[in-house]
Amino acid sequence: MNLELFGAQDGARVALGPESVVLRGLALPHVPALLPEIARITAQSPWRQMHTPGGFVMSAALSNCGALGWTSDRRGYRYSAVDPQTGLPWPAMPAVFLALAREVAEAAGFPGFTPDACLINRYGPQARMSLHQDRNERDLCAPVVSVSLGMSAVFLFGGLQRGDKAARIVLDHGDVAVWGGRDRLRFHGVMAPRGPAHPLLGEQRINFTFRKAG
């Protein structure tokens, strides 16, 4: 599939697969409450660029909140209850985060979703994420709920094999992508942010993904 979807109206629902969808603008009402919480989280567990097991430095900066946080170094990818940079537990997941995750998951057809991990990524103008699967979680049917804020970026959503052709979906400020069930292990990634600086967040895109990790 060679598809690029632009600028759908807020409230639009874009199906990506049997159990995957983009919900346009669904996070917009929550933004005034989300941004102060992101600042609080990253003050406690600062942004950092992690190393992959192969020794490469990730271009996106990362932090976490919730009972578990995703981390990466030369020993591999994994979840941990402790921030390895501070030696302290990751910041608690804010109530507004949890409410948004549940609201979005239910709208996408996954009622009762209760995430225990939230990965927060910051993409500068050159940052990107190559195609990959999320498979460090114990429950590989529970959805991933991915919220986009700031600059627009092209989301790549492929198949169950790395070589499958990926759809290209433009995600704008406030859009949410959800995939789970039969689509949970589809390869996905994101290209570098594009277009003008965002009025609130400047030349960056902030993306946070909720998972059931433990």
What whole-number percentage of the chain has pLDDT above 90? 91
Whichever domain contains 48, its CATH number is 2.60.120.590
Provide the residue range defining the domain that includes 80: 4-211
Question: What confidence category does residue 9 fall into, taking pLDDT thresholds of 50, 70 and 90?
Answer: low
123 to 30, 59, 61, 82, 152: CA distances (angstroms): 20, 8, 7, 24, 11
2: pLDDT strictly greater than 70: no
Mean pLDDT of the chain: 94
7: pLDDT strictly greater than 50: no
201 versus 8: the higher-pLDDT residue is 201
2 versus 140: the higher-pLDDT residue is 140
Backbone phi, then psi, for 99, in 5-degree steps? -65, -40
Mean pLDDT value across residues 2-6: 44
Q: Which of 179, 188, 148, 154 is nearest to 169 (CA)?
A: 154
Mean pLDDT value across residues 62-74: 96
Q: Which of 168, 147, 146, 172 is nearest to 156 (CA)?
A: 168
Count up the domains in the chain and report the number. Answer: 1
Query: How many Å separate Cα 29 from the centre of its chain?
Result: 18
Mean pLDDT value across residues 25-48: 98
Return the residue matching tokens 């409410």: 99
Report pLDDT for 11: 72
Question: What confidence category does residue 4 fall into, taking pLDDT thresholds of 50, 70 and 90?
Answer: very low
Question: What is the pTM for the complete model shown?
Answer: 0.93
Q: What is the pLDDT of residues 167-209, one digit of tens each?
A: 999 999 999 999 999 999 999 999 999 999 999 999 999 999 9
8 versus 205: the higher-pLDDT residue is 205
Mean pLDDT value across residues 147-166: 97
Question: What confidence category does residue 10 fall into, taking pLDDT thresholds of 50, 70 and 90?
Answer: low
8: pLDDT strictly greater than 60: no
Q: Which of 187, 180, 190, 181 is nearest to 210 (CA)?
A: 180
- Contact between residue 117 and residue 79 where contact means Cβ atoms under 8 Å apart: yes
- For the chain, helix, strand, coil in percent to 5 are 15, 35, 50
Q: What is the pLDDT of residues 116-130, one digit of tens each?
A: 999 999 999 999 999
Q: Please count the residues of the chain.
A: 214
Total Cβ atoms within 10 A of residue 116:
17
